[in-house]
Structure 1
């Protein structure tokens, strides 16, 4: 049972790492062209301070969601596992379905 609890805790930590708008935006930016992205590009694209971005990147790295490589003076980031992007795509589909269901409910209420 202890191992199962550890696995559940690891899953929870993984999802917690995704549970911040800035980190979602980081992943969406990294997914955009599938290539490594420099920190300087992330700062510019996301409009966040370097210190704030570093904290978010650290959380994503700690959960092994992203990985980095140093190229000269630049640190380049990429999504480590493509499955993370699949999860994000699935969430997008779920949200679209929820939106459609909400619209249908609103139409039904308006017609009542």
Structure 2
């Protein structure tokens, strides 16, 4: 994930860049539930096999997932349950943000600051 001598905030930024793709987030969410074979991930993530392979390679390179060969198939797992925790915390933060935005919009509509057509 980068040079260990770089400042921690840069390493964190690189980490969050790794998370900056919807398919990678979806894969990590699924792996937070259980290990998955690539064939099981495909319909759940909804992208082309080559693209899924590429996203899994990125997650492997950055140490977020591990791959294990089972005969002809390859199964993936999270390297740490903390990854699933991070996604749950992110969900809680976003839920709060969205609720706050909805409240603000409601207030603005009530005070007449926003035309009804926006709501």
- TM-score scaled by length of structure 1: 0.89
Name the residue aligned to 1:85: 84
Deviations along 1:18-60, one digit per CA (max 9) or x if unpaired, are 110010111111123x2x2100111122221111001100111
Cα RMSD (Å) of the superposition? 1.5
2-side partners of 1:107 and 1:8: how far apart?
A: 37
Matched, 1:3 2:19: no
Give the Cα separation in 2 of the matches to 1:11 and 1:106: 33
More helix by share: 1
| Helix, strand or coil at the partner of 2:5 | helix
What TM-score does the superposition give when structure 2 sets the normalisation length? Answer: 0.84
Corresponding residue for residue 71 of structure 1: 70
How big is each residue's C-alpha offset from its partner over 1:63-84, in whole Å with a ceiling of 9 and x where there is no partner?
A: 1001111111110001111111
Q: Specify the structure having the higher radius of gyration (Cα).
A: 2
Structure 1: runs of 5 or more not aligned: none
Alpha-carbon separation, structure 1, partners of 2:6 and 2:23: 30
Q: Could you tell me how far apart the structure 2 residues matched to 1:14 and 1:95 are?
A: 19
Q: Extract unaligned runs of 5+ from structure 2.
A: 112-119
- What does residue range 1-112 of structure 1 map to in structure 2 within 5 Å? 3-5=5-7, 7-32=8-33, 34=34, 36-112=35-111
Q: Distance in 1 between matches of 2:96 and 2:46?
A: 30
